Amino acid sequence: MKKIFAACLIAFSLTSVTASAQEGEVDPVQSANDALPDASKKVQKKAWLTSIEEGLKKAKAQNKLVLIEFTGSDWCPPCMMMAKKVFSKKAFLEGVKKDFVIVKLDMPNSNADLKKANGELMKKYKVRGVPTVLLFDAEGKEFSRFVASQHRTVKDFLKKLDTAKRRKDMF
């Protein structure tokens, strides 16, 4: 009986600590990420292409890889978080540009035609949810995919890209 009580007490304590961390305590890693400067809207708009074909053409010409982000910019909370915390940051855009051409395929509720067109691309590439990132070589061969919101800081996201790039030719 004492062991059961002790286990329950530990479980309750862990739940309380987790809840308090979620309610108001500051995550130092996330705070550091929030402190990173945003790129200007003009720089962000110029950095992100909106066509896979255009991205592949540019990647081939520049001998780079292609990062494609499927997003729902005006209705998907994880997508909006990634846009604010990672994809809009100057450090991300500078870090990604040396190896990748970046393409954003948005499915906004505010634009039915764009949502439908990019929704068809989601089906074509068997993307089941957003925010999803696909990585292609310049020839259009996919070599990795992952849920973007698993990497919530610029540092973690760039590290994930570096790891995927190194593993690209292993298989």
- pLDDT tens digit at each of 171 positions of the chain: 444 433 333 333 333 333 434 455 555 556 667 778 998 888 888 999 999 999 999 999 999 999 999 999 999 999 999 999 999 999 999 999 999 999 999 999 999 999 999 999 999 999 999 999 999 999 999 999 999 999 999 999 999 999 999 999 886
pLDDT at residue 7 in the model: 37
Q: Compute the Cα dihedral for 84, 85, 89, 94 and give only its sign.
A: negative
Return the CATH fold of 36-167.
Glutaredoxin (3.40.30)
Q: Is 38 helix (H, G, I), strand (E, B) or coil?
A: strand
Three-state secondary structure call for residue 119: helix
Quote the CA–CA distance of 131 and 112 in Å, as a whole number.
Answer: 18
Task: Report the predicted TM-score, pTM, of the whole model to 2 decimal places.
Answer: 0.80
Domain extents in the chain:
1-26, 36-167
Residue pair 89/38 in contact (Cβ under 8 Å)? The answer is yes
pLDDT given for residue 39 in this prediction: 83
Contact of 63 with 138, CB cutoff 8 Å: yes
Residue 55 burial by CB count (10 A; 0-12/13-18/19+): exposed, middle or buried? buried
